[in-house]
Each structure stands twice: as structure tokens, then as C-alpha cells.
Amino acid sequence: MGDARKPREIRLSTTPTPEALAELQLGDIVYLDGLMYTAREGVYKRALEDKANIPLELPGESAANFHCSPAARINADGSFEMGAVTATASFRFAKWLPEWLAKSGAKLVIGKGGMSSKDYKNYFVPNGAIYLSTVGYGTGALLGRGIENVEAVHWNEELGLAQAMWVIRCKKMGPFIVASDLDGNCLFERENAKISATIERAYEGTKPATLKRFGETDDKNDELIG
Amino acid sequence: MISIDLIQKTAETLMDKAAIEIPDDYLEGLKAAAKVEDGDLSSFVLQAMLENYEVAKEDRRAMCGDTGTPRWYVKMGNETQIEGGPIALEAALRRATANATNGVPLRPNRVHPLWRTDHDNNVGIGAPEIEYGYEPGGEWIDLITVHKGGLFGTDYRMLFPSDGIQGIRRFYLDSIVAFGKRGLACQPAIIGIGLGGCKDTCMVLGKRAACLRTVGDRNSDPKVAELELELKELGNSIGMGAMGFVGKSMVIDAHIEVGYCHTGGMQMSVHAFCLSSRRAVARVFADGRVEHRTDPNWFTDYQRRETVEWEMPESHEKSA
């Protein structure tokens, strides 16, 4: 390790108080205790678009929504085997999250890569919620050790094991990184801003490709040559 | 004749090893990166990953919860015969994939693209992919499983000779910056670059460059090898590290594979093999021996041949 400083480490409940959330700063390392549930596009579609009844009492039982599909199986006797758990990229769920946060009362959204500060300010802040990012990404085995018990799986028949709603009791599960705070500040955007000058230097001398692509221009009247 | 039961049994072991045990070459590469990393958060991330690999091995649990999209690269010596033939071989690899998904367990990632049907076993239409290669001489089969992560860090671009090396640098940077932000590519990664071929072969070359070559391995063409080192250096100089945080560890190694292409083009693909660079290899012999290793040793001189006929060098049969 070079001259790196160690970040601060904090234990947090999956039904956190507003005071506990207010304590958190961008870049803090968090370990979680309590019940969390997995919910990603399958659960959001089923709960919000198909209006299915959510099989948990939210946020009373849990205010922690994990964007995760575990490496898991259901044994023949109905018990569960859960090995590794890691997050999936959250930005794809922005479409459902405003309604989901309001409906579920989730205070912790846990996933990969975070959301934009615009998302945080628009619907995380009004709901008193923050974003925790997994680390790596790919600390699946470490997070797996933080599973005290797999309490239930819901909607696995409708959605398959990967998209099902898994309910997990965690004990010092982590590490997670605080990627947004109660004011809607964004850790990843802060880091991006610090890096932009170095990126510019790395590009020096390179030139745009001879044949452009739509996406590099949004004007469909543009020709893409030269 | 190679026993089909032995192939299936070996394949199941490989699925398990790939998901759980980080290959030594990548591990050493990451340790070296962790030593020089001085970004506070990047450094924390690398240390957590190193700890994670240990925990995965101790607990025999998958190193990452996203266990990727398992696939098979199969290579055979020219004299190899498989009990039951190629159909039995494919069935054995599909069975091994399904059994290991349930056994390890892996995440059942594979679904129908439109109907999202999930068989909960990573087997379906076209899944797992099974690709083949052959070597002159020998009676053996190499089973290589790669569980590459699926969504970020890969791109293709049609460049032209006039784009030149600067065009290659530009697209390389575009790709790693785009997918490196917020760590979507799960870097530091082994970056594979395909140059030339046709669009499909360019993608195949880049993916194989990422997944089938080990950290530290260099292309047999010295000028290509030089470009590999230059791109590795370039990738580590953008000021970004793990998870897109301030740092300098983006690329554990850069591998380039080339294929002859249309005279007017210079196709390029970029692939990132992530912090969970999952691959496992075994050679199965007709006499029942099984030799495990982590180096796929896919890109032999024969695989990179550029002549009409192939004359086997005397040393080749032993090394292949």
C-alpha cells in the first residue's frame, strides 16, 4: 500500500435513525446489522407496475434495499444455500426508484456504482435516504460471511432465483461505502471531478475516429464521416 | 478415447474452481498494484478485494455474487477421440454447467433476452457458449471455463488505417474511461484488445485476449508486445483506480490479439476481464490423467499461424 489513509468504519442498522444517517460522510465504510431485502428490476416491475402485494412489511421490517442477485439455491427441503452476494449496477433502476422509495420507505439503497446527484437530490433527499455502494466490486465472499440467516425468498417462481426478493438477516455485513449523504452529495461525482484533468492529459495527441457514431452527435442530419 | 464421465466430472470441478479461486497470475498482478496504490479509497478497495479472495477460498464460496456467464473453450490434440463424440461432449459440458450452478452455488444469470425466462441453471439457448480449437499432434482435451462478467467494459469500433495508432489509443481510452467511471468495469482489469479480423472475429479475438492469456504474458510479435505495454501504462496514467476513485490501478495487464482484416479497415474491440477474472483449466488424457492449471495457453504459434500450410516445429508437439 502507498501512502493511503484508512477510511472511518461505522456499524449501522438496516432500519437506521435519521440521526445515524446524518452522521455518515461520503467515503465512510459501513457494516450493516439487521434485515435487508434484495429488489431490482423484477421486483420493481412486479410491485409497481403489476401492483402485486409486497410480501414484507416495509419499512418496519427493513429499510435496506439491496440491488443484488445472490449466488444461491433453494434446497429440496426448502432451506437455502447462499454463497456470495454482490450488487448490480443501480443506475438502470432510476426509472422505478422514486416511486419505490416513497412506497417502501427505504432509507438505505445498496448497490453498485451509485446514482447521479440529481437522482439523490430529487428523490433520495426528500425520502431521507442515502446510497451505500458495495466495494470492489466483487467482495461477494466477504459479504456472504455477513449473512446470519436467509429468512425467506419471495416471487422466485414468478421471477426466477436471480430476480427474486431474498430476505437476509445480516450481522456486520460489509464493507459498504457511503456514496451519498442526506444532502444529496455524490461520492462518485466528487471523484470524477478530481480525475478530469489527468484524463485530459492522457488524451493528448489522440484524435477522434474518422467515422463517427450516433451518440457522439445527436443530430440525425449529421453525416458521420470526417 | 477419452472417457465422457471423466470429462463431465472434470468440468464440474473446473466450474467450482473458476468461481472460487482467483488465478495466481491475476492475484500477483493485483498485489503488485495494491503495493503502489496511494489513493485512499482505491487502496481500501484493493485491500478488501485481496481479503475477499482469501475468504472465498476458506469458505469455498464464490468470490463474487455475480458469477458471470459461464462458457467453455475446448481444445483438442489432432489425435483426440471422445467417447460418444462431440454431441456427448457438449451434453457433458451443459450438464456440468447446470450441476455446478446448483452445487457451488452460482448465480443463475442466464435468461431469455426478451421473455426473461430463467432455467435457474445457466443453461439455455446458446448458453453456455462452447468454442473449439485444435492443435497438431497429441491425444488430449483441454477444458477451459471462463466466467466473465457480463455487462460493462466491452466495446467495438470500426477504425481505418488512417486512424492509426493514435486512433487505437483514443478508442482504448474512451472505453476504459467510459466504463471505469464509478467502477462499472470492476477494474483493475485485464484488458483484451482485438485488432482486425471481421467484426465478429475482432470481438472474439479481444475477448480471448482478455480471458485466455495470463498476466505478464506478451504477444509473440515484439511490436505488438510493445504496444501492449504502452497501453497498460497509458491505462494506469489516467488518474483513476478501483471503483473510479482517484488512483492509478486500472489495468493489471493489456493483451492484444490480431487477425488479418479487410484492406480498408482496422477493426478494434476492447474487453475488460474484471477483479474476479475467473478461469480454470484442465487437460484430460485418454489414460485417465487430469492435469489442472490456470494458464489456458490458448494462443500457441499454431493458433496465430499466418501461412497456408503448417509445418510443425520439432518442439511443438511436446509443448502443445
At B10, the pLDDT band (50, 70, 90 cuts) reads: very high
Query: How large is the average pLDDT for residues B192-204?
Result: 98
The Cβ-side half-sphere exposure at B95, using a 13 Å CA radius, reads 13
How many helices and strands, by DSSP H and E, does chain A display?
A: 7, 9
Q: Is the pLDDT of residue B310 over 60?
A: yes
Sign of CA dihedral B302, B303, B307, B310: positive
**A209 to B67: CB separation less than 8 angstroms, yes or no:** no
Q: Rounded distance, CA A73 to CA B13, Å?
A: 18
**B185 contacts B179 by C-beta, under 8 angstroms:** yes
> C-alpha A85: how far from its chain's center?
12
CB-CB contact of B205 with B197 (8 Å): yes
Q: Give chain A's mean pLDDT.
A: 95
Which pLDDT tens digit goes with each residue over B248-302?
A: 999 999 999 999 999 999 999 999 999 999 999 999 999 999 999 999 999 999 9
Nearest-by-Cβ selection for B62 from A42, A84, A198: A84
d(CA B195, CA A110): 38
B142/B133 Cα distance (integer angstroms)? 9
Is B244's CB within 8 Å of A188's CB? yes
Domains of chain B, residue spans: 4-17+63-149+279-307, 150-273
What single-letter amino acid sits at A48? Answer: L
Q: Is the pLDDT of residue A3 over 80?
A: no
Query: Is the Cβ of A42 closer than 8 Å to some Cβ of chain B?
Result: yes
Examine the pLDDT at B83 and tell me if it is beyond 90: yes
User: Would you say A117 and A143 are in contact if contact means Cβ atoms under 8 Å apart?
Assistant: no
Q: For the residues B228-248, what does the mean pLDDT come to?
A: 97
Q: Determine the Cα–Cα distance for residues A28 and A185; give it in Å rounded to an integer.
A: 13
| More confidently predicted of B224 and A1 | B224
Q: Scan for cell 447446470, then name that residue.
A: B98
Q: Of A149, A138, A129, which is closest to residue A36 (Cα–Cα)?
A: A149
Q: Give the alpha-carbon dihedral of A188, A190, A191, A192, to 10 degrees.
A: 80
Q: What is the pLDDT of residue A2?
A: 61
Instruction: Report the percent of chain B where pLDDT is more than 70.
Output: 98
Q: Indicate the residue of A29, A84, A159 with minimum beta-carbon distance to B64.
A: A84
pLDDT at A4 over 90: no
pLDDT digits (tens, 9 = 90+) for B20-34: 999 999 999 999 999
Residues 133 through 172 of chain A touching chain B, CB cutoff 8 Å: 133, 135-145, 159-163
Q: List the domain boundaries for chain A.
A: 9-203
Instruction: Please check the confidence at residue A223 and state whether its pLDDT lies above 90.
Output: no
Q: How far apart are CA A85 and CA A139, in angstroms?
A: 8
Report chain B's C-alpha Rg in angstroms: 20
Residue B127 gets which letter from DSSP? B
Binning pLDDT at 50, 70 and 90, where does residue A56 land? very high
DSSP B181: G
Cβ contact B61–A2 (<8 Å): no
A43 phi, psi to nearest 5 deg: -65, -40
What residue of B is the nearest CA neighbor of A2?
B38
State residue A222's pLDDT score.
87
Q: What's the CATH code, domain A9-203?
A: 3.20.130.10
Contact A80/B at CB under 8 A? no
User: Could you tell me the end-to-end alpha-carbon distance of chain B, in angstroms, rounded to an integer?
Assistant: 19
Dihedral sign for Cα atoms in the order B182, B184, B185, B189: positive
* Whole-number pLDDT of residue B315: 58
Strand intervals (E) in chain A: 9-13, 29-38, 64-66, 72-74, 80-82, 108-111, 130-134, 147-154, 165-178
Q: B43 to chain A: which residues are within 8 Å by CB? A: 1-2, 4
pLDDT confidence band for A1 (50 / 70 / 90): low
DSSP state of A123: I
pLDDT for residue A146 is more than 80: yes
Cross-strand partners of A153: A166
H/E stretch holding B292 reads strand B290-293
Q: Is the pLDDT of residue A14 over 50?
A: yes
- Provide the percentage of residues in chain B whose pLDDT is more than 90: 95
- Of the candidates A178, A172, A164, A14, the residue with the CA atom closest to the CA atom of residue A82: A164
For range B307-317, the mean pLDDT: 76
Nearest CA to B243 out of A179, A2, A183 is that of: A179
Taking contacts as CB-CB distances below 8 angstroms, the residues of chain A near B51 are 139, 142
Give the pLDDT score at B320: 47
Query: Is this prediction's ipTM beyond 0.95?
Result: no
- Preferred mutation among A139, A203, A213 to probe B, highest tally of B CBs within 10 A: A139
Q: Taking a C-beta distance cutoff of 8 angstroms, is the pair A213, A224 a contact? A: yes
Lowest mean pLDDT among A17-21, A203-207, A221-225, B159-163: A221-225
How many angstroms separate the CA of residue B139 from the nearest CA in chain A?
36
Cβ-contact A133, B243 below 8 angstroms: yes
